[in-house]
Amino acid sequence: MVMESQSEKLFARSKKVAPGGVHSPVRAFKSVGGTPIFFERSEGPYLYSVEGRRYLDFCLSFGPHILGHRDADVEREIIAVVQRAWSLGTCDPYSLELAEWITHKLPWVEKIRFVTSGTEAVMSALRVARGATGRDLIVKFDGCYHGHVDSLLVKSGSGLAGVGEGDSAGVARATAEQTLVAPLDDENSVETLFREYGAKIAAIIIEPLPANYGLLEQRVEFLQFLRRLCDQNGSLLIFDEVISGFRVALGGMVEVTGVRPDLVTYGKVMGGGLPVGAYGGRQELMNLVAPEGRVYQAGTLSAHPLGMVAGLATLKKLDEMKVYVELERRMLNFTRALRSGLEGSTYQIQSFGSIFWLSPKTSSPIRSLKQLQSNLNDSYRRLFEPCLQKSIYLAPSGYEVGFISLAHSESLLQEAAEKIIEAAHESRHSSI
């Protein structure tokens, strides 16, 4: 009889008390099969399992830990504030400092409001857009994820572009119908929507670097086109930079592409690993938010001192240490090694800044959901499992991207590339 591992025992207990045994779906390993590993500690590039095994982490909590887990400088700041202030529920200097720093560095964020998750940031930005325009409809793209807000848990209905239908049980039809869905990388479809609904569209929301259904890098011209279309129709452009903000550059994709949104949302890296989200943008739009304006939005734990301090310490370090140039250089070497090693396998690697994506081989760059096979996980799980055996922790779904951090040294990345290549070649011979 095979002995049950500690993780298996904990997962059995967890399934009794939480849906699927988890508190966020991808963690359950449903896409890759097997029992999720329970981790109890992290440091730098590593996760430590309850069995005491060390894994090189390329998931990094799905993005936040750009400096690695528990960066020493950030940790020092967190410990200092733990002994001064938890949630105060008052005005405080910590959120002021972060707000001043961000609005000073990112000129398109003239004012900012802190919340506690990316979902909340997106939800609030939509409300501002509707409040500002007096219109109800939102355009989103198939292949972008914006958190679990009802009106964006919507996929295209029948037809290429049009009124959406719920992508989750529990989304009211009337809510889904307020969202129009278009394919990425397709000017014509968006134009058609605007021809029909233009005067009713409050905003287009897009991940300027879609990184939640694989990595679907968009043409800059497509983003510029959306900007023009919004201007022509009196609609607002919202960039959801929860994953790309402070990750691909301090100023995210706005800095990279030069395309300016009216409103922008942040999360993940911005909180340094603590629960922080934010929305911001042009002054006259943000002035609509309560108590200054009539768009209500509030939060008991909003701008929590721990998150504010962790965020500021992280962002300052990113800025001062020129981290982006260094991460990009390491990623280039990492992908170069992988690319040559994966020749002859069924996998390919794509990257943008410090984000990468291992996917089935294609002949042209993937820019929209239409180009993806419906079953990415069939091939991904054959890579995931042997990587795990080699103590490489990839995100547990083929639709999730991977991240590197400042703690992923050149030599660790070279070693990891070799292991991933071995795993890819082993996977050819496995039958699952």
Ligand X SMILES: *Cc1c(COP(=O)(O)O)cnc(C)c1O
Binding window for ligand X (CB under 6 A); candidates: 96-104, 140-148, 349-357, 416-424: 140-148
Q: How far is the CB of 219 from ligand X (least distance, A)?
A: 19
Alpha helices in 390-430 (DSSP H): 410-429
Q: Is 122 in the site for ligand X (CB under 6 A)?
A: yes
Contacting ligand X (CB under 6 A), which of 68, 267, 353, 402?
A: 267
Largest CA distance in the chain: 69
DSSP letter, residue 2: P
Residue 231 among the catalytic residues: no
Note whether 203 and 138 are within 8 A (CB). yes
Catalytic residue among 142, 268, 324, 393: 268
Residues in binding contact with ligand X, number by CB under 6 A: 14
Residue 208 and residue 224: Cα distance in Å, rounded? 11
Residue 145 annotated as catalytic: yes
Are residues 230 and 236 in contact, defined by beta-carbon separation less than 8 angstroms? yes
Contact between 119 and ligand X per CB under 6 A = yes
The answer to whether residue 261 forms part of the interface with ligand X (CB under 6 A) is no
The DSSP bridge partners found for residue 288 are none
Task: Give the amino acid at 10.
Answer: L
The neighbour count for residue 5, using CB atoms within 10 Å, is: 16
- Shortest separation between residue 138's beta carbon and ligand X, angstroms: 14
Token pair of 62 as six digits: 């799905």
Nearer to ligand X, 48 or 399 (CB): 399
Query: Of 313, 249, 306, 289, which Cα lies nearest the Cα of 106?
Result: 249
- Asked whether position 151 contacts ligand X by CB under 6 A, the answer is no
Residue closer to ligand X by CB (options 274, 337) is: 274
Min dist CB 357 to ligand X, Å, is 14
Q: Determine the residue with CB nearest ligand X.
A: 118
In angstroms, give the least distance from the CB of 207 to ligand X: 5
Q: What angle do CA 414, 28, 4 make, to 5 degrees?
A: 90
Asked, as a colleague might, if the bond just before 291 is cis with ω within 30 of 0, I would say yes
Per rule CB under 6 A, is residue 183 in the interface with ligand X?
Answer: no
Q: Which is nearer to ligand X, 49 or 397 (CB)?
A: 397
Among the options 240, 266, 347, 393, which is catalytic?
240
- Mapped onto helix, strand or coil, the DSSP state of residue 309 is helix
Query: Which H or E run contains 399?
Result: none
304 touches ligand X (CB under 6 A): no
Residue of 118, 280, 396, 398 interacting with ligand X (CB under 6 A): 118
Are 311 and 95 in contact by the 8 Å Cβ rule? The answer is no
Nearer to ligand X, 277 or 396 (CB): 277
Q: Is 117 in the site for ligand X (CB under 6 A)?
A: yes
Q: Which amino acid is at 16?
A: K
* Residue ranges binding ligand X (CB under 6 A): 117-119, 122, 145-147, 207, 212, 240, 242-243, 267, 277
Which residues have a catalytic role annotated?
145, 240, 268
